Amino acid sequence: MTVPVFEEYEPAADCGCAGCAQQRRILASGGHPNAHGLRRALAVLATAGVVLGSGGAGVADAVGPAAAGTARPGEAVDAQATADPVPVTEQGRSGPLHGPTGKSATAAAQLRKTTRAEIINRAKKWVSAGVPYSMELYWTDGYRQDCSGYVSMAWGLAGNEWTGSLAEYATLITREELQPGDILLFHNPDNPTRGSHVVLFGGWTDYTHTSYIAYEQVKPQTRRQATPMAYWTNSSKYLPYRYKGVTGAAVQVPSVATVPGTGAKPGTANNPGTGANPGTGANPGTDAYPGRTAFGPGANNKYVTRLAELLSTRGGQHFYPQGPEPRWDDMDRLATRAFQLSQGWQGAEADGMPGPGTWRLLVTKKGRNIIGGASGPGGKSAVAPAYPGRGYFLPGRSSSYVTQLGRQLVKRGYGKHYASGPGPAWSEADRRNVEAFQQAQGWRGAAADGFPGPETWRRLFA
């Protein structure tokens, strides 16, 4: 009997031979028929002249997950790769779009012209719809609901691609050249199910270019969030690409550290806090105090956006990793409270709700900047104390560094978990307050565990 070659093939649904059974298992766990480990395992079988057929179950087990470099369904491939914010990276293979009936649709020419604005707008549709992640299902637009299907949709490709083929439709660029609509791609050719992922670049979060807005398809659904350059894990392996069919000028995405209307960086002549007006000066339509009813849970209006802009220019930009937005959320309250505390107010005067006094100081650029923000009181630069080391912030430890940390958290508006203090003994309240600060930076998972590392310390005191 001739041994079939199991490479780049679609396993028959009703075939009981060991090769097809193993191939279906690999596909179900997110593997690819061209994964190198599987090729090597099948090559050993072919060389040995093993007859696949009866008794195939035992042979399939012999070339199971350990040999193929993948995991059986239900087995963890990589504990780090399945934890938020690191995505689970199963993905389907290259294939056509799927029509309303679930049948494959005929693909036209693969390279379609599109603009950066169109790419971002398509990406936003999945975010708004909360498209659930799946490597097997297809959204109503015909694109597969995994990371590469998402990029295929945003780029307007005529079919569904995967991390191993997306680069064929793009040109490699440098990270400094990234513009909205480009991608950051990591493809692991030795085992595509371990780490391979692709995200859509949505713009820098600030002038330092250390983080950016990523549009990506991960479990449980499509998301848009601030992400460290180039990614949470395997950062050095992510390569920037530009779609060959993109046309037109770049989309300008404002960053949280940019002064509205000027594009100026903190510390320049147009930066509020130095005595100069932002852009063309005050905004008559939004600088008159609108009343307390314009703020708080459920509020969604231009005054909330203006509040965030004003607070960002007074040292509160770290509260807005994705930029000022019109919908009120907890970050607006925390940023407002941090500004109020910086004025020396206490109690009801520092409740996080912008009253007429708070608003007047913000629009007239008077009062103290947020302590620990871009600048200290009077616009003078603040110097961050040296990081003492992680060992001081562990259960059972007590030191002046814990007190220093707690006081800074309170100044920055992250002290809500303190029933008393802060004090020198490390407590769960300290950890929870640090965790809230880390999450405000856009960090998730192990990066927001509540234990201050050097980067948390630097940002907290910067």
Q: How far apart are CA 153 and CA 119, in angstroms?
A: 8
| Cβ neighbourhood burial of 95 (10 Å; 0-12, 13-18, 19+) | middle
| Dihedral sign of CA atoms 218, 219, 220, 226 in order | negative
- Cα 364 to Cα 306, 314, 334, 399: the distances in Å are 13, 11, 21, 41
Query: Per-residue confidence at 261, pLDDT binned at 50, 70, 90?
Result: very low
Q: What is the DSSP letter of 232?
A: S
Asked if residue 114 lies in contact with residue 156, where contact means CB atoms within 8 angstroms, the answer is yes
Q: Give the per-residue pLDDT at 323.
A: 78
Q: How far is it between the farthest Cα atoms of the chain?
A: 88
Q: Give the per-residue pLDDT at 184.
A: 96
The encoded tokens of residue 424 equal: 């020198």
Q: How far apart are CA 130 and CA 124, in angstroms?
A: 10
Name the more confident of 409 and 100.
409
What percentage of residues in the chain have a pLDDT greater than 90?
Answer: 32
What percentage of residues in the chain have a pLDDT greater than 70?
Answer: 65
Asked if residue 156 lies in contact with residue 118, where contact means CB atoms within 8 angstroms, the answer is yes
Q: Give the per-residue pLDDT at 181.
A: 95
pLDDT at 241 over 90: yes
Among 49-58, 174-183, 325-334, top mean pLDDT goes to 174-183
Q: How far apart are CA 343 and CA 361, in angstroms?
A: 10
pLDDT in tens, 182-235: 999 998 877 776 778 999 999 988 777 888 999 999 989 999 998 889 898 888
Give bridge partners of residue 170 from the DSSP assignment. Answer: 243
- What is this structure's pTM? 0.41
